[in-house]
Chain A
Amino acid sequence: MQHPDDIWFRHASRVGIINQRPDFRFDAAFYARNHLDLMGDDDEMRCHFTDRGRTEGRHGTQYAQLRSKVPHIDDGLAALVTDPDLCTLLNANHPDALELAFELIQLGAQVDSWISDFSMRAYLEWHPDVEAAGMNPLIHYLHFGRIEGGRRTLADLRKGLHLGQQEFRPELPTVLICVHEMSRTGAPVVGRDLVRQASRTHNVAVAALRGGDLLEHFLPHCCGALITASPLREMPYVNADAFRHIDQAILNSVECAPFVHALVAQDIPFAAYVHEYSDYTFPSWKSVYMASFSDLLVFSSEHVRDSWRGRLADITFDTANDSTIIPQHPLIHGQVTETRRRNARQALSRALDCDLTGKRLICGAGHVQWRKGTDIFAQAAQICARTHPDTIFVWIGDGQNHQDMGFGVWFDYHLRQVGANNRDGNLFFLPAGPLYLDVMDAADAMFLSSRLDPLPNVVFDAIQRGQHMVCFDGATGFADDRYRGSDRIMRTPYAEPAAAVRSLLALPLKTGIADDAAPTTPDTGPQLFDRIRHALQDRLSRQRNFVLGESAIDIPLLFTKAEIDRPLRRREREKLFSYGRRLLWRDVQDASDTVAASSNWVHRRLRVEEYHPVAPDDLRVPDFAIHIHAFYVDDLPDDLCNHAAFARARRILVTTDTEAKATIIRQIGTDRGLTIQTQLVPNQGRDILPFLRLFGRDGLAGDDQIWCHLHQKKSIQTTSHGNVWRRFLHRILLGNQDTLSSAITRIADSGVGLVAPFEPHFVPWADSRRLLAGIADRFPGPMPQNPLMFPVGNMFWTRADVARQMLDLFGEDHPWPNEPIPTDGTEYHLIERLWPAIAARMGLDSIFLHKDDEERV
């Protein structure tokens, strides 16, 4: 057993403090801090403690002091220790063991993590409230955190780190392969294949957001697998070679987006392998960040990439150079032996209790759900049941749940009505499992009934096992041109089961080959991992534009706005701007230059100007009206007090949805000497429809020509930054208590149709892009690829005739959607982006005011 002094000497020497602190039982700095009545250097402090302090009941270390007040810390402290020598001391009940452990951990990085499951720095980083409170992390954990529960420590992180069976070899490059979970589903299975292939030439580190029973299939091929829901915070604390020498990474699935932050922070280049359509990738930040920060986007099919077209345009992504198509498997036109086909049919006949001899067997596979079109598969079976009862449909996959209100309840009822799983019927369902290969070998054809399905692995299996496959045009990557040359793949009109049935019935029945002609797997070239790796390396080596330094607009994206994250924000901007992608403007000049460089007819009418204060009695100030939509009234009193513009307004009109609120609003005005006109409106169209309807039939706009539109909707305050944003908008549009905004004088100038705050984010069409085609013919030119500028937040100054034209664009009788509405992509979100286009159509400019000293986020 090592002596405690030797253990202390070893570690204290390593970190260079042994001379200042030769004995762990006395901490001179602590002693001086806690006994301000004492003066002297370290030696004098030590003498005082030895000669008098100890007998006076003074404590020589933090541990001794804490232990005297909170005896229960010992169990928690002992549980943290991992160093074998320390553990031996603890097991022997050495009286100094716990004090030694405590004082060693207090030395911080990296002694703490060498000898224990505790990192002082990690605890503070993972629990910002402890750091904000200025507490010592170890004391907090032992005293409170351990009892509170839910306070992650290094121990939890280490539990999530599973050792792989491959040794780390320094001479090899290291790749990190990320999967979102380790379930036996499509993308994780592809991830497992990537790891297997990579392990032949690389050290492989694996990371996942969630575990699963596929983990055991990863471990034989990797150096280690980390399960963490917080990669940014936790990956830097993984003390394993494979995680500390990562050269590049592959994020397998868009669901791996939480790894983007960690990779950008560590300056690790990565490719994202995308299997998912943008149509069902929510929240959209996952696809936006994945595309914005990947060095290369690899799609499994053109059809999937096509679905991303809008989101890529939103960030000015260079699709030609920064993306590529690599299917996860080659399509192999294989066959099965007749013996194998016959045996598979017999196995299935027994499982289904239905003789399949001489029957046409159509299979489907995958999780039972709307996306896979399992209901369409059932409809196809129903069609055949009447005309071709010898055609049997078998679906293999999990997900049937008669208690699932989303799909299972209705599908279960459907199946009972049509007599599924009846030995005399033609429609059967099997759970995922060992019968899968029997289904693949026995079936004549696969019906890919999916509504949207990237490139399901089951089709590769089916084709390799001699099947034909029928799918819907526009539903899957298998309808890509790449597969048009295959005589095994048939396409039929989208979501038409009758057409699919005609195609299925026209196919030849599968016949097996002789046993001695058993199929061999052809050489299909480089495997998936190598193809992705080479594509990534090629892209990296062709990069010719780089940006260095901090952007003048420094609002947080991947990282926080804290000072400590400033280097990370810089790295994030450098990568974003080096690839020419946009999530924010670099600075105001960047925005002005971009607008000036555009030839689009809407952009030609955009102007960026600096904000100026204007005196309320300035003769240039026109008569104006202010409209506020106040669904909530909480902030209205402060708003009326904080802006001189309200007292200067000719008219204040507030729309709200109940008479009770209207009464409160009028009273708020009266209390401040303001006359407020109220109008009750239904809760429809967020803030903007009540404004537009002022300019329609029986609207209250009257003769007022210049309007400011504001609102009190909570959607603008739903984040912690919401109030800052609201103040930003109000200050730029209205001014402050003493002065007005130059927005008011600019909107009065001829030729100006809109004035709004300059938004430092680069806000795209986003989901509104889907609506552009419907209004395209109402404008004199094409809509731009991105709006560049619009009144983000939907508060602005405009003219009555501009507002009328906006209402006319849709018409007063337009069937406006009711609440609840999606968070993006409705007419209301489109209107927000169209104000400059309406103004431009009228030959008017839109001005965006920049106020440098106004905090945005």
Chain B
Amino acid sequence: MIILVHVKAGQTLEELPKGLLNEKYFIVLLGPQGSFSGQDLPSPAGAVGGSVLRVTQLQDYAGAFAALADCARLLRRLFAQNFGPLHYIQPSEELMSGRDTAAVSWTATSDGHVDAFCLSPVVASSPLLMPLTRDLAARQMTDDRRFAFLAAAFAGV
């Protein structure tokens, strides 16, 4: 399993959410400069190897879909080589559950913001994920709509 933990501007992640410290998981910390410099995080910044990855965003953005598109590009080898579900959460949230059969599942607010999503192993490791998310991220629409399109693209997978 790969878990994206998205830290927003102004937040600092001092330690990993409980329950994520599992040696079988890859944890991807995603956020602006300095947002996950906590001393209690496993493996120091700059280390090579290990199960914690750091993705530093030089420009802050809030969107979950943009985060997915960037990670699908940067981490495509990790996604391809580790067959398992891909979860996206914010530091205070817990993993989505109960919809494991869906290729793409997500929760959105009424204004279209997505605060959590989960991709099935087949979707997360698909070579189509990078180009699809890149194209959808470039379009003017809410994240909710983007995930709907993504789900449609992988429907039946």
Q: What is the interface of chain A, defined by CB distance below 8 A to chain B?
A: 267, 318, 321, 540-552, 573-574, 577-578, 580, 586
Which of chain B's residues 69-106 have a Cβ closer than 8 Å to chain A?
70, 73-75, 77-78, 81
Chain B residue contacts of A549, Cβ below 8 A: 57-59
Q: Is the interface of A mostly helix, strand, loop or mixed?
A: mixed
Q: Which residue of B lies closest to A543 (CB)?
A: B48
18 contacting pairs across A/B (C-beta < 8 A): A318-B48, A542-B48, A542-B49, A544-B47, A544-B48, A544-B49, A544-B50, A545-B47, A546-B53, A546-B54, A546-B55, A546-B74, A546-B75, A548-B55, A548-B59, A549-B58, A550-B59, A577-B56
Q: Is the CB of A548 within 8 A of B74?
A: yes
How many residues belonging to B are interface residues under a CB distance threshold of 8 Å? 22
Q: Is the CB of A541 within 8 A of B77?
A: yes
Q: Is the CB of A580 within 8 A of B46?
A: yes
The answer, yes or no, to whether B45 is at the interface (CB within 8 Å) is yes
Q: Which residue of B lies closest to A580 (CB)?
A: B46
Report the bound CA distance from A586 to B52 in whole Å.
Answer: 23
The answer, yes or no, to whether B107 is at the interface (CB within 8 Å) is no
With both chains docked as a complex, state the minimum distance between the C-beta of B117 and any C-beta of chain A, in angstroms: 18
Chain A residue contacts of B70, Cβ below 8 A: 548
Report the bound CA distance from A321 to B57 in whole Å.
Answer: 23
Ordered nearest first, which 3 A-B pairs have the shortest CB separation? A549-B58, A549-B59, A546-B55
Chain A residue contacts of B78, Cβ below 8 A: 541
Q: Which residue of B lies closest to A269 (CB)?
A: B77
Given contacts A544-B53, A580-B46, 4 further A-B contacts (CB under 8 A): A543-B48, A546-B54, A546-B56, A547-B58
With both chains docked as a complex, state the minimum distance between the C-beta of B81 and any C-beta of chain A, in angstroms: 6
Report the bound CA distance from A578 to B75 in whole Å.
Answer: 12
Report the bound CA distance from A573 to B56 in whole Å.
Answer: 12
Q: Is the CB of B48 within 8 A of A321?
A: yes
The answer, yes or no, to whether B11 is at the interface (CB within 8 Å) is no
Report the bound CA distance from A549 to B57 in whole Å.
Answer: 6
With both chains docked as a complex, state the minimum distance between the C-beta of B157 and any C-beta of chain A, in angstroms: 20
Report the bound CA distance from A550 to B33 in whole Å.
Answer: 13
With both chains docked as a complex, state the minimum distance between the C-beta of A321 and any C-beta of chain B, in angstroms: 5
Chain B residue contacts of A577, Cβ below 8 A: 56
Chain A residue contacts of B56, Cβ below 8 A: 545-548, 577
Chain B residue contacts of A541, Cβ below 8 A: 77-78, 81
With both chains docked as a complex, state the minimum distance between the C-beta of B35 and any C-beta of chain A, in angstroms: 13
Chain A residue contacts of B74, Cβ below 8 A: 546, 548, 574, 578
Chain B residue contacts of A544, Cβ below 8 A: 43, 47-50, 52-54
Report the bound CA distance from A541 to B48 in whole Å.
Answer: 9
With both chains docked as a complex, state the minimum distance between the C-beta of A576 and any C-beta of chain B, in angstroms: 12
Chain A residue contacts of B46, Cβ below 8 A: 545, 580
Chain B residue contacts of A542, Cβ below 8 A: 48-49
Report the bound CA distance from A540 to B80 in whole Å.
Answer: 12
With both chains docked as a complex, state the minimum distance between the C-beta of B53 and any C-beta of chain A, in angstroms: 5
Report the bound CA distance from A267 to B50 in whole Å.
Answer: 24
Report the bound CA distance from A484 to B58 in whole Å.
Answer: 49
Report the bound CA distance from A745 to B148 in whole Å.
Answer: 61
- Central interface residue in A542, A544, A550, A577, by most chain B CB within 10 Å: A544
With both chains docked as a complex, state the minimum distance between the C-beta of A360 and any C-beta of chain B, in angstroms: 52
Report the bound CA distance from A550 to B52 in whole Å.
Answer: 23
Q: Which residue of A lies closest to B26 (CB)?
A: A544
Q: Is the CB of A586 within 8 A of B58?
A: yes
Chain A residue contacts of B52, Cβ below 8 A: 544
Chain A residue contacts of B55, Cβ below 8 A: 546-548
Q: Which residue of B lies closest to A318 (CB)?
A: B48
Report the bound CA distance from A550 to B61 in whole Å.
Answer: 13
With both chains docked as a complex, state the minimum distance between the C-beta of A159 and any C-beta of chain B, in angstroms: 32
Chain B residue contacts of A550, Cβ below 8 A: 58-59
A546-B54, A548-B57, A586-B58 are contacts. A540–B77 as well, Cβ < 8 Å?
yes
Chain B residue contacts of A545, Cβ below 8 A: 45-47, 53-54, 56
Q: Which residue of A lies closest to B50 (CB)?
A: A544
Report the bound CA distance from A706 to B115 in whole Å.
Answer: 59
With both chains docked as a complex, state the minimum distance between the C-beta of B76 and any C-beta of chain A, in angstroms: 10
Q: Is the CB of A551 within 8 A of B75?
A: no
Chain A residue contacts of B53, Cβ below 8 A: 544-546
- Central interface residue in B45, B53, B58, B73, by most chain A CB within 10 Å: B58
Chain B residue contacts of A574, Cβ below 8 A: 74
Q: Which residue of B lies closest to A570 (CB)?
A: B58
Report the bound CA distance from A574 to B57 in whole Å.
Answer: 10
Report the bound CA distance from A540 to B74 in whole Å.
Answer: 11
With both chains docked as a complex, state the minimum distance between the C-beta of B20 and any C-beta of chain A, in angstroms: 16
Report the bound CA distance from A577 to B78 in whole Å.
Answer: 19
Q: Is the CB of B58 within 8 A of A551?
A: yes
Report the bound CA distance from A580 to B57 in whole Å.
Answer: 14
Chain B residue contacts of A552, Cβ below 8 A: 58
Q: Which residue of B lies closest to A541 (CB)?
A: B77
Report the bound CA distance from A577 to B54 in whole Å.
Answer: 12
Report the bound CA distance from A548 to B47 in whole Å.
Answer: 18
With both chains docked as a complex, state the minimum distance between the C-beta of A267 and any C-beta of chain B, in angstroms: 8
With both chains docked as a complex, state the minimum distance between the C-beta of B16 and any C-beta of chain A, in angstroms: 15
Q: Is the CB of A548 within 8 A of B48?
A: no
Q: Which residue of B lies closest to A549 (CB)?
A: B58
Q: Is the CB of A548 within 8 A of B58?
A: yes
Q: Which residue of A lies closest to B67 (CB)?
A: A548
With both chains docked as a complex, state the minimum distance between the C-beta of B48 and any C-beta of chain A, in angstroms: 5
Report the bound CA distance from A549 to B47 in whole Å.
Answer: 21
Report the bound CA distance from A493 to B78 in whole Å.
Answer: 49
Report the bound CA distance from A681 to B55 in whole Å.
Answer: 55
Report the bound CA distance from A321 to B43 in whole Å.
Answer: 16
Chain A residue contacts of B58, Cβ below 8 A: 547-552, 573, 586
With both chains docked as a complex, state the minimum distance between the C-beta of A217 and any C-beta of chain B, in angstroms: 33
With both chains docked as a complex, state the minimum distance between the C-beta of A245 and any C-beta of chain B, in angstroms: 11
